[in-house]
Amino acid sequence: MDLVRESAVQRKVRKPDIVVEDFNSLCGDKLLISIKLDGDEITQYGFEGSGCLISQASAYLLKEKIIGMKLSDLKNISDDEVLAELGIPKLTPSRMKCALMAVKTLREKI
């Protein structure tokens, strides 16, 4: 197995093909996402981070959505899909930024 267990939730991908990171200077959330590819298909996803539970949970839940997806399709994941997966009915604007940090990082940096 190419994943290294970092904690109960966070994982790193060994020898990733893509690594992207982001930092929210307003709240201090940090996120580093690593992805392994087979051609254009995402075969492994891992992340390391620190910050609020919302940003970390959202980064974790994104894994289920993108494994098996084509890299080119990442830009098509909507904010609404991510928020529905997270399942928190109402978020303040600052918490919305936390919830969408992982998907926005992927869309903007890949």
Query: Quick one: angle between helices 101-109 and 79-86, nearest 10?
Result: 150
% residues pLDDT > 90 (the chain) = 77
At 13, phi and psi to the nearest 5? -95, 130
d(CA 62, CA 46): 10
Q: What is the mean pLDDT of residues 10-27?
A: 89
Return the pLDDT at 1.
38
Q: Looking at the 3D structure of the chain, how many domains does it have? A: 1
Q: pLDDT for 96-110, tens place per residue?
A: 999 999 999 999 988
DSSP letter at 16? -
50, containing H or E segment:
strand 41-50
CB-based contacts of 21, cutoff 8 Å, min separation 6: 30, 31, 32, 33, 105
Mean pLDDT score of the chain, rounded to an integer?
Answer: 88
The domain of 45 spans 3-109
CATH of the domain at 18: 3.90.1010.10
Q: What is the mean pLDDT of residues 14-37?
A: 93
